[in-house]
Structure 1
Amino acid sequence: MAHFGNCDPEMADQEYCIFRKPDKDEKEARKFYNKLVLKFFGYVLNIKGIAVRKLENFEYNLHFSKNIPVGGTTYSHRANYRFRLSLRCEKFVFPEIPTDVAFSFEYAIFEKKANFRSAIFIGYTTFEGAVFKNEAIFDSAIFKGNTIFEKAQFNGVSRFSDATFEMSAYFENSMFNGNAVFERTEFRRETYFENATFDKTANFEETMFFGKSNFQKCRFLGDAKFSEACFELSSDFERCIFEKNADFSATTFNGYVYFDKTIFKGDCLFEGVTFNEPVSLKGKPKEYEYKFYGKLDFSNVDIRKGISIIDYKEDGSLYEEGFLSLFKRTDALIEAARVQRLSFEKEGKREEADRMFVIEMRAKRKLRKLELFNRALNRALNVRVIKYLLNLSEKGTGWMRKDSESLLEFLKLILLTFTIYPLTALVVTFAILLISTLYVLGYVTEVVIGDWVSLYGTSWERVLESSLIVILGSTLLYWLGQKAGFGTVCIHSTVTSNGVVCNAPISSFWDALYYSLVTFTTLGYGDMHPTGWLKALSAIEALTGAVFMALIVAVIARKWMR
Structure 2
Amino acid sequence: MPTHIELEFSNEPFEECKESVIVSITDVHGRQQERVRLGVVDAESVYKKIEAKEPVTLDLRYVKDFSLKTYRETRSLGKDEVIELPDFSASWAYFDGIEPKDFSHSEFTGTVTSFANSLFGDGPLSFFTAKFNASMTDFSLSHFGAGAANFQYASFKSKTISFDQALFETGDIHFVNCDFGDSNISFREVNFGIGKVDFHYTRFGKGLITFDKSIFGGGEVSFKRVDFGDGKVDFKRTQFGDGEIDFSEADFRSGKVIFRSAAFGDGNITFQEAVSTSDFIFDNATFGNGSLSFFNASARMLSFKLCQFNNYVDLRVNEVEKLDLSDTIVRDIIDLMPTSKAPVLMKQMVFSGMRNLGNLYIDWERNEVLDLILSQEETSQRQKSDQFLVLKETYNATGRYSDEDRAYIWYKRYELKADLEYSLKHNPSSAIWAYPTAFFKWLLFDKIGLYATEPLRVLFSVSIIYTLFSLLYLVLPFVADTYIDTGGGEVLADMNAVSKAFYYSAITFLTIGYGEFYPVGIMRFFASVEGYVGVFLMGYFSVAFVRKVLR
Is residue 2:178 matched to residue 1:163?
Answer: no
Aligned to 1:345: 396
Alignment gaps of 5+ in structure 2: 9-16, 26-42, 60-65, 74-78, 94-106, 112-126
Structure number with higher helix proportion:
1
Secondary structure in structure 1 of the residue aligned to 2:486 = strand
| Cα pair distance change 1:543/1:78, threshold 3 Å | farther
Alignment gaps of 5+ in structure 1: 17-29, 68-74, 313-317, 378-431, 494-502
Secondary structure in structure 2 of the residue aligned to 1:137 = coil
Residue type of the alignment partner of 1:543 = Y
Cα deviation for residue 520 of structure 1 reads 1.0
Matches within 5 A, 1:13-28: none
Please point out which of 321, 326, 329 is paired with 1:272. Answer: 329
Is residue 2:109 matched to residue 1:65?
Answer: yes
| Cα pair distance change 1:359/1:172, threshold 3 Å | farther
| Cα pair distance change 1:3/1:14, threshold 3 Å | closer
Which digits, 9 at most, give the CA deviation of each residue in 1:37-91, with x for residues without a partner? Answer: 9678999562624355767885637995359xxxxxxx99384533526423633
**How many pairs are equivalent?**
456
Secondary structure in structure 2 of the residue aligned to 1:489 = strand
Aligned to 2:198: 146
Structure number with higher strand proportion:
2
Counterparts of 1:535 and 1:279 in 2: how far apart (Å)? Answer: 58
CA contact (8 A) 1:241 1:264 kept: yes
Which digits, 9 at most, give the CA deviation of each residue in 1:383-418, with x for residues without a partner? Answer: xxxxxxxxxxxxxxxxxxxxxxxxxxxxxxxxxxxx
Counterparts of 1:323 and 1:203 in 2: how far apart (Å)? Answer: 24
Aligned to 1:46: 72
Counterparts of 1:93 and 1:204 in 2: how far apart (Å)? Answer: 29
Please point out which of 316, 320, 324 is paired with 1:258. Answer: 316
CA contact (8 A) 1:190 1:211 kept: yes
Aligned to 1:392: none
Please point out which of 276, 290, 296 is paired with 1:217. Answer: 276
| Cα pair distance change 1:367/1:547, threshold 3 Å | same
Aligned to 1:90: 142
CA contact (8 A) 2:142 2:163 kept: no
CA contact (8 A) 1:247 1:269 kept: yes
Please point out which of 501, 504, 521 is paired with 1:515. Answer: 504
Counterparts of 1:138 and 1:105 in 2: how far apart (Å)? Answer: 22
Please point out which of 314, 322, 327 is paired with 2:376. Answer: 327
| Cα pair distance change 1:53/1:236, threshold 3 Å | closer
Counterparts of 2:404 and 2:538 in 1: how far apart (Å)? Answer: 24
Is residue 2:406 matched to residue 1:355?
Answer: yes
Counterparts of 1:161 and 1:56 in 2: how far apart (Å)? Answer: 29
Secondary structure in structure 2 of the residue aligned to 1:451 = helix
Counterparts of 2:373 and 2:421 in 1: how far apart (Å)? Answer: 18
Aligned to 2:348: 291
Matches within 5 A, 1:166-205: 166=220, 168-170=222-224, 171-174=226-229, 177=232, 179-181=234-236, 183-186=238-241, 187-188=243-244, 190-192=246-248, 193-195=250-252, 199=256, 201-203=258-260, 205=262
Given the two structures, how large is their TM-score scaled by the length of structure 1?
Answer: 0.67
Counterparts of 2:22 and 2:327 in 1: how far apart (Å)? Answer: 55
Cα deviation for residue 219 of structure 1 reads 2.5
Which digits, 9 at most, give the CA deviation of each residue in 1:79-127, with x for residues without a partner? Answer: 45335264236331486689xxx97433342626423633256364234
Counterparts of 1:251 and 1:301 in 2: how far apart (Å)? Answer: 10
Please point out which of 164, 168, 172 is paired with 1:122. Answer: 172
Aligned to 1:227: 286
Which digits, 9 at most, give the CA deviation of each residue in 1:398-444, with x for residues without a partner? Answer: xxxxxxxxxxxxxxxxxxxxxxxxxxxxxxxxxx2xx3222122111
Residue type of the alignment partner of 2:264 = T
Counterparts of 1:207 and 1:504 in 2: how far apart (Å)? Answer: 86
Residue type of the alignment partner of 1:185 = F
| Cα pair distance change 1:103/1:550, threshold 3 Å | closer
| Cα pair distance change 1:279/1:118, threshold 3 Å | farther
CA contact (8 A) 1:279 1:307 kept: yes
Aligned to 1:401: none
CA contact (8 A) 2:252 2:277 kept: yes
CA contact (8 A) 2:309 2:329 kept: yes
